[in-house]
Amino acid sequence: MLTIARSELIQLLRDRTALFTSLLMPLAASVFFIYNRDLFVGAGGLGYIAVLLVFTLAAFSLYATVVTTLAARRQNLFLKRLRSTAATDPAIVSGLVLPVSVISLVQASVILAVLAVVSDAPANIPLLAVAVAAAFAMMLALGMATSGVTNSSERAQITTLPVSLGIVAVAMWVGVSGAEDLPLLKRLLPGGAATELMVHAWNGGYPIGDSLLLLAPTLAWVWVAVALATRFFRWEPRR
């Protein structure tokens, strides 16, 4: 797995287009949100800014890159060649998505640390870390699922838009309006419960027991996405 991950990291760093559009642009957007944080702080306070940062990176840095990577490796038959080696299927997929997953998590950690330095620190750092990890796990699983219905890296620009924009829209809606109205709907939508958990982890809010209950919908989406990935993932191009 580590050999595959090292090879994938080298290819990612050599692909300037992917490096710019999938990694540097979301990072630049995050810097913009922090610099203009006073314009975006609403009912969710600084927790809402943290939500914007996390889901911008998760959607456009992690999710979109995972879909593009797996679709491209399938298209050029690299997945098929890897499967003829001694590596297991889970090790192949894990190795391919490991570099961008680590890079995206490091990006999120650094950018959230910058937000904490230039404003107020989060009220509950461990709970925030759990919420961010759950959100990234959901986006990673959704990326593997979406790659199963994406025929090429070019088509990934289209297939990733509904999920990326939809989840960011849900995060913005829940972050601004809170969960007091329509709480069940907001928490069941992908990203809704994670948004509420991040807002309260940063601003201070629910007791730890109540907060951890908000992990259930996000983990349920992880399970659904893994099930979809198992069903639709292909190792060879569709004929």
The answer to whether residues 79 and 92 touch, using CB atoms and an 8 Å cutoff, is yes
Q: Which structural domain range is residue 30 located in? A: 2-232
Q: Does any domain span residue 52? A: yes
Does the residue 239 lie in any domain? no
* Residue 237 within a domain: no
**Which pTM was predicted?**
0.89
Q: How far apart are CA 106 and CA 50, in angstroms?
A: 15
What pLDDT sits at residue 152?
A: 81
What does the pLDDT look like over 41-79, one tens digit per residue? 665 678 888 898 899 889 888 999 899 889 888 888 888
Q: Is the pLDDT of residue 206 over 70?
A: no
Residue range 134-183, pLDDT digits in tens = 999 999 999 998 988 888 878 888 889 999 999 999 988 988 887 778 88
Q: Which one-letter amino acid corresponds to residue 147?
A: S
Do the beta carbons of residue 55 and residue 142 sit within 8 Å?
no
> Does 131 reside within a domain?
yes
Residue 226 inside a domain? The answer is yes
**Residue that the structure tokens 């570099």 belong to:** 99
* pLDDT at site 148: 85
Please indicate, yes or no, if residue 238 is contained in any of the structural domains: no
Q: What percentage of the chain exceeds 90 in pLDDT? A: 14
Number of domains into which the chain is organized? 1
80-105: b or e for each residue (b if 16 or more CB lie within 10 Å)? eebeeeebeeebbbbbbbbbbbebbb
pLDDT, mean of residues 97-125: 87
Share of the chain above pLDDT 70, in %: 92
DSSP of 110-164, one letter per residue?
Answer: HHHHHHHHHS---S-HHHHHHHHHHHHHHHHHHHHHHHTT--SHHHHHHHTHHHH
Given this model, what pLDDT does residue 42 score?
65
Residue 238 three-state SS: coil
